[in-house]
């Protein structure tokens, strides 16, 4: 890995130092595994209690056909967490052993029982003749679930479980199924207290990312509204979505925002201000360099002017870039009045 003066100037000393430390950590871990002649995923998972579990480690631990071994490894990773649930059962009254893995409070219990456990335990009957693998049969004729994703390693399992999905593992199958069953409580959209208007919509963003995306889609009903998702934060794994209108936003602007976000390497992103601080052109300036809003109509209006929006999971505050000084003097209500009365130029 070569570090040039140009890279240090562009990314900053702290960012380059983090890259070097991360690279050295991986090299040391790989060397230790080779010298001890042990697999990175030993059957004895006690090592997870002495060191932090990283994505790099979990991606190298495949799901095995032995259900008991998979359950042992997952219990070793989560330890004695009371909200980590593994429900073991028999499919079709003894056809195969299976287990569902989920986090209590993150899934809808009624959906789990009616659409997953009951069809598999009571109503399942094997197809004759056999078509495809056992999991494919289950997916095709048994599970009435709309969103299903495949899991091939422990990272996939844990990632989907943390997002509120239910992971199904079957004995004899070297992969699993992640079924969408999120059911945690979210706040309903309401008018933002800091951006109240006399004339205009009364809806505001919430802490639920999918709700915020839906509010924006209702205002910009075009396939040119593009959304790019990425996960930031080594520990928090926060989902961040970049939104823009194709044909209106400059490709150079979108590429610059995407590149700056991908360079962020910290433990956690808990609020959009974390991103705003790291996206600034002038970190020591007192003036804001990004527009922050909780209103979907304001985001839609700015996207129509060629700007880029950044949605952050677990916060109603959306960043809009670039944030010119004049844009901070505008009110959301300026878009609903004559341009002479509002602080906005006619387009």
Question: Are 261 and 293 found together in one domain?
Answer: yes
Question: Are 213 and 315 found together in one domain?
Answer: yes
Residue 139: inside a domain: yes
Residue 186: inside a domain: no
Task: Say how far apart CA 311 and CA 209 lie, in whole Å.
Answer: 7
Burial class (CB within 10 angstroms; exposed 0-12, middle 13-18, buried 19+) of 159: buried
Question: Are 264 and 302 found together in one domain?
Answer: yes
Cβ contact 77:48 at 8 Å: yes
Closest CA to 144 of 176, 170, 117, 169: 117
Question: Which residue range is the domain that position 22 belongs to?
Answer: 1-38
- DSSP states along 220-254: --STTEEEEEEEE-TTT-EEEEEEEETTTS-HHHH
Q: pLDDT of 133-190, one tens digit each?
A: 788 888 887 888 888 899 999 999 999 999 889 999 999 999 999 998 887 777 889 9
Whether 125 shows a pLDDT value over 80: the answer reads: no
Q: pTM of the full predicted structure?
A: 0.77
Q: pLDDT of 67-116, one tens digit each?
A: 999 999 999 888 888 999 999 999 888 888 999 999 998 898 888 888 88
Question: Are 226 and 259 found together in one domain?
Answer: yes
Question: Are 100 and 15 found together in one domain?
Answer: no
pLDDT in the model for residue 344: 53
Tell me whether the omega of the peptide bond preceding residue 215 falls within 30 degrees of 0, making it cis.
no
Instruction: Return the sign of the alpha-carbon dihedral for residues 309, 315, 317, 322.
Output: negative
Backbone angles phi, psi at 69, to 5 degrees: -65, -40
Question: Are 198 and 175 found together in one domain?
Answer: no
Cβ contact 245:304 at 8 Å: yes
Closest CA to 306 of 255, 248, 253, 247: 248
Task: Say how far apart CA 87 and CA 110 lie, in whole Å.
Answer: 15
Q: How many domains does the chain have?
A: 3
* Contacts for 40 with CB less than 8 Å, ≥ 6 apart: 29, 33, 57, 60, 61
Residue 238: inside a domain: yes
Q: pLDDT of 293-338, one tens digit each?
A: 999 999 999 999 999 999 999 999 999 999 887 777 777 777 787 7
């Amino acid at each position: 890995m070569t570090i040039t003066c140009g890279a240090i100037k562009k990314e900053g000393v702290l960012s380059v130092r983090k890259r070097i430390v991360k690279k050295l950590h991986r090299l040391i871990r790989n060397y230790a595994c080779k010298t001890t002649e042990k697999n990175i995923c030993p059957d004895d998972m006690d090592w997870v209690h002495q060191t932090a579990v990283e994505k790099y480690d979990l991606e190298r631990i495949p799901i095995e056909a032995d259900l008991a071994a998979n359950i042992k490894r997952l219990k070793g990773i989560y330890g004695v967490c009371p909200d980590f649930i593994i429900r073991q059962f028999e499919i079709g009254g003894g056809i195969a052993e299976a287990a569902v893995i989920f986090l209590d409070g993150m899934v809808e219990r009624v959906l789990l029982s009616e659409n997953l456990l009951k069809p598999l335990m009571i109503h399942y009957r094997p197809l004759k003749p056999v078509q495809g693998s056992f999991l494919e049969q289950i997916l095709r004729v048994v599970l009435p679930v709309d969103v299903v994703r495949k899991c091939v390693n422990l990272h996939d399992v844990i990632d989907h479980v943390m997002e509120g999905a239910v992971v199904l593992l079957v004995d004899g199958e070297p992969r699993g199924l992640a079924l969408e069953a999120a059911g945690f409580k979210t706040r309903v959209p309401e008018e933002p207290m800091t951006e109240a208007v006399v004339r205009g919509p009364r809806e505001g963003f919430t802490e639920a990312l999918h709700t915020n995306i839906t509010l924006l889609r209702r205002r910009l009903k075009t396939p040119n509204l593009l959304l790019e998702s990425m996960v930031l934060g080594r520990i928090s794994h926060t989902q961040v979505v970049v939104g823009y209108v194709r044909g209106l936003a400059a490709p150079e602007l979108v590429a610059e925002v995407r590149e700056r976000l991908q360079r962020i390497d910290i433990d956690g992103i808990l609020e959009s201000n974390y991103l705003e601080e790291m996206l600034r052109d002038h970190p020591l300036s007192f003036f804001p360099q990004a527009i922050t809003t909780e209103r979907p109509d304001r985001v839609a209006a700015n996207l129509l002017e060629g700007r880029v929006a950044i949605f952050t999971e677990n916060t109603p505050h959306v960043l809009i870039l670039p944030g010119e000084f004049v844009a901070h003097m505008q009110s959301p209500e300026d878009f609903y009045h004559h341009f002479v009365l509002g602080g906005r130029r006619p387009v």
